[in-house]
Amino acid sequence: MKILTGNDLRTGAVTWWNGSGWSPFVDDAVDVAEDAEEILAREEAARRVNVPYAIEASIDAEGHVRPAHIKDRVRALGPTVRRDLAVPTADKTGWDWVI
Amino acid sequence: MYRYDQYDQEMVEARVAEFRDQARRRLEGKLTEDQFKPLRLMNGLYLQLHAYMLRVAIPYGTLNARQMEMLADIADKYDRGYGHFTTRQNIQYNWIKLEDCADALADLATVEMHAIQTSGNCIRNISADHFAGAAADEVVDPRPYAELLRQWSSFHPEFTYLPRKFKIAVIASAKDRAAMRLHDIGIRIVKRNGEVGAEVYAGGGMGRTPMIAPLIRDFVPIDQLITYAEAALRVYNRYGRRDNKYKARIKILVHELGAAEYIRQVEEEFAHMLTVGVEPPREELARIAEYFAPPAFVDGPKTVDRSDPDFALWVDRNTHRHKHDAYVSAVISLKPAGGIPGDATSEQMRLVAKLAREYSFDELRVMHTQNLLLPHVRIADLHALWTALDEAGLGSPNMDTIEDIIACPGLDYCALANARSIPLAQRISERFAESGRTGELGELKLKISGCINACGHHHAGHIGILGVDKKGTENYQLSLGGSEAEDVSLAKITGPGFDEDGVIAAVEKVTDVYLTQRSDGERFLDTYRRIGMEPFKEALYG
Amino acid sequence: MGNARDLGTSPDEVQFRFRDDEPVDHGTVTVDACCDQTNATAVRIEPGDDARLLLPFLDRLALVEVNFPVFGDGRGYSAARILREAGYTGELRAVGDVLIDQLSHMRRCGFDSFAPDKRLDKEDAMRAFATWENVYQRAADTRRIIADKRHEA
């Protein structure tokens, strides 16, 4: 699937397109199929997100969204070396797939 | 150390106001991200993997306790309670909000600090020998010259949109503790027949095309230093490549023209600039130099009680000879085994500030090795200092050992990285601390970069590690034989890369080769230079 | 090259001008053309041009336009200073991708008129021109630098 991510303009926080807005949780990300370019242009112009881009992802057996590239997997959870600062998530197995 | 007068203060405050206005225009949509990016970068604000990152300048690595406490306050108020000290003697905060950034800069301005030109295609923060003003071997204190250059380069109207970033380092001794020849311009302050002048190197750098800077002038009279710098920069601004970002650094210009032709052009421009008259008045350097007058040293004991072996080891490893024999410079390691190189919590920053007040004339340094330093500590106070540091986890006796690893933030934080650097540093330092071989290995500089941009100085490591992306997984190339010091050299790649476990094992193997092959008194680097790459390759791939 | 009407900005396109004389009302020629022609009074410098080629002709030039096709290409700042250092007193116009936050530096390098591709917010621009009450380094303007002020008797 194709999902959208970027950073919040005001705070810089990592955000994911959830179909109607931007969420801090990667699991909220939705498949945008063919609409990526249109959503990216609209949302960036409205400054609801900064430097957004489309990435490949998949959904695992438990329903968690897993970005394909390691960089976006690190972005989804936080620095692997500071797990105390991780994005709060109910996904207990998250760190296992980051690397 | 230098103190702002009303003018310096006005300048940083004007910059805060300017940035506040720029941020406002960005948030209102009057600036696009493409237009805003160079502006925020010139105030040290990046957009990294997880958030905005703010890089605050610590000019020539010198700061006082009040400033360090402000760095701690910024970490608590606007960030997540810690900061990361960098190889260019700056500090980075990883979680700054754009909407808070101007407030953070305003707070910094109250203690004469800023983030001016810590990024962008301009002249960056000037770095210097971290032992400046203290080292027994220096000709003069290089910092007044660095400060003169700092003022000249701040908001320079002609050199704000250079082809690429521009880094200057200043030292003043035969020993190079600032990677001087791996800078765009490296300056060694020298004396010739009693006259102070500058030996100037240009076109060094790391990144994807590492180069050692050639000498471009053996003596610039000190009252022409700014004029000469202006000439060197103008030639670069006019003729540095702008067609390819990766070939835009001055090292490529110097390399493509040849040093002789670059020198010829600079000399021509220099002769012209001398007629234009751009040098600040002579008295300005004298005014600045007064701020760097040595503190009131007093005589005292020249040796320590070595009955506590842990203390004695720390003294041997982490102190550096001072120009006054009752003092030393004391290195505060930010490299605890298993720790994140260069990271310090706000609590640690406050403790270090307090110790600087108590033991080092209110003065602190940030080292290019991502450690901190108290430049002027009475030998009589060393035990008390060490005790306080040790209790706070800041007493690791590992300066210039294999545990004193330089590592960039890597893929844990950096948007450019291909692989993580920090976990490698953590595992390697832990492994050598546990095996107890750190001491046996002696001076061994291990440097790790998470991408080809080489922020972790891997080209200059006795052992260097470069993280690369191999089909979506982290892979690490090992290199040997680099040095950033006066015996500067560039490391050579050993061969095919390794995965994370593999590269850690490889580091152990090359240290084994060294221990087997070394002659008396040889460092790792010396042995490598004598025996060459083959025995190491054999151990790694044979 | 050399067709004067094809090149250059007209006075109408100049948004900010810090001169009292009448602006040149015809187009500019390229640096090459200027060096070949004996009568050109207005010239346009592109980023890759060597401004020093114009030094023999400064007396007859009334307008030099320096083009900034992209704001990040800073060669025009050096071109401007080189001309002023050589004594050029005619109009020096920054044209192209000229943005608010470059105005004060351009002014310091000797530009005295500005014809941005996209008209700038006047209030923001005026604030930008006035950003730096004091300056650290000498440039093409005649401002006394901070170090001078520190050491005046």
Residue A81 touches chain B, beta carbons under 8 Å: yes
Q: What is the pLDDT of residues B459-509, one digit of tens each?
A: 999 999 999 999 989 999 999 999 999 999 999 999 999 999 999 999 999
Is it the case that residue A48 has pLDDT exceeding 70? yes
Secondary-structure class of domain B6-109 per CATH = alpha beta
ipTM exceeding cut-off 0.90 for this assembly: yes
The angle formed by the CA atoms of residues B46, B47 and B48, to the nearest 5 degrees, is: 105
- Residue from the list B121, B156, B237 with its beta carbon closest to the beta carbon of C137: B156
Chains B and A contact (Cβ–Cβ under 8 Å for 3 or more pairs): yes
pLDDT band at C3 (very low <50, low <70, confident <90, very high): very low
Whole-number Å distance between alpha carbons of B199 and B531: 33
> How much is the pLDDT for C5?
45
Interface contact B161-C99, CB threshold 8 A? no
Q: Which residues of C71-80 are buried (b: 16+ CB within 10 A; e: fewer)?
A: bbbbbbbbbb
Residue B414 touches chain A, beta carbons under 8 Å: no
Q: What is the pLDDT of residues A23-39, one digit of tens each?
A: 999 999 999 988 999 99
In the predicted model, what is the mean pLDDT of residues C102-127?
96
Torsion-angle region of A54 (φ positive above 0: left; ψ -120 to 50: alpha; else: beta): beta
Whole-number Å distance between alpha carbons of B509 and B513: 6
Strands A14-17 and A22-23: antiparallel
Chains A and C contact (Cβ–Cβ under 8 Å for 3 or more pairs): no
> How much is the pLDDT for B196?
97
In the predicted model, what is the mean pLDDT of residues C25-31?
89
Whole-number Å distance between alpha carbons of B74 and B68: 10
* Radius of gyration (C-alpha) of chain B in whole angstroms: 22
Interface contact B155-C81, CB threshold 8 A? no
Whole-number Å distance between alpha carbons of A6 and A8: 7
* Mean pLDDT for all residues in chain A: 93
Residue A41 touches chain B, beta carbons under 8 Å: no
By C-alpha distance, the chain B residue nearest C127 is B18
Q: Residue C118 phi/psi, 5° resolution?
A: -110, 125
In the predicted model, what is the mean pLDDT of residues C78-102?
97
Whole-number Å distance between alpha carbons of B167 and B54: 18
> How much is the pLDDT for C10?
86
Asked if residues B491 and B479 have their Cβ atoms less than 8 Å apart, the reply is yes
Least Cα separation, residue B48 to chain A (angstroms): 8
Per-domain residue ranges of chain B: 6-109, 142-289, 309-391, 406-541
A21 Cβ partners below 8 Å, 6+ apart?
A48
Residue A79 touches chain B, beta carbons under 8 Å: yes
Asked if residues B19 and B104 have their Cβ atoms less than 8 Å apart, the reply is no
- Residue from the list A44, A71, A81 with its beta carbon closest to the beta carbon of B426: A81
Interface contact C124-B21, CB threshold 8 A? yes
Q: Which fold has domain B142-289?
A: Sulfite Reductase Hemoprotein; domain 1 (3.30.413)
Which chain B residues have a beta carbon less than 8 Å from that of C150?
5, 7, 283-284, 287
Per-domain residue ranges of chain C: 4-150
Q: Fill in the amino acid letter for B273.
A: M
Architecture of domain C4-150: 3-Layer(aba) Sandwich (3.40)
% of chain A exceeding 90 in pLDDT: 80
The CATH number of B309-391, from 3.10.180.10, 3.30.70.3340, 3.40.640.10, 3.40.50.2000, is: 3.30.70.3340
Neighbours of chain A (3+ CB pairs under 8 A): B
Binned average pLDDT, 10 residues per bin, chain B of 542 residues: 97 96 94 93 95 98 98 98 96 97 98 96 96 97 98 97 98 97 98 97 96 98 98 98 96 98 98 97 97 97 97 98 98 98 98 98 98 98 98 96 98 96 98 96 98 97 97 95 98 98 98 97 97 98 94
Alpha helical stretches, state H, B365-437 = 382-391, 422-435
> How much is the pLDDT for C6?
54
Instruction: Tell me the three state secondary structure of residue C101.
Output: helix
Interface contact A81-B97, CB threshold 8 A? no
Residue B467 touches chain A, beta carbons under 8 Å: no
Same fold, B142-289 and B309-391: no
Q: Which residues of B126-142 are buried (b: 16+ CB within 10 A; e: fewer)?
A: bbbbbbbbbbeebebbb
Q: Which fold has domain B406-541?
A: Sulfite Reductase Hemoprotein; domain 1 (3.30.413)
Asked if residues B508 and B431 have their Cβ atoms less than 8 Å apart, the reply is yes
Q: What is the pLDDT of residues B24-83, one digit of tens each?
A: 999 999 999 999 999 999 999 999 999 999 999 999 999 999 999 999 999 999 999 999
B370 Cβ partners below 8 Å, 6+ apart?
B85, B86, B87, B334, B335, B341, B342, B406, B407
Q: Which residues of B24-50 are buried (b: 16+ CB within 10 A; e: fewer)?
A: ebbeeeebeeebbbbbbbbbbbbbbbb
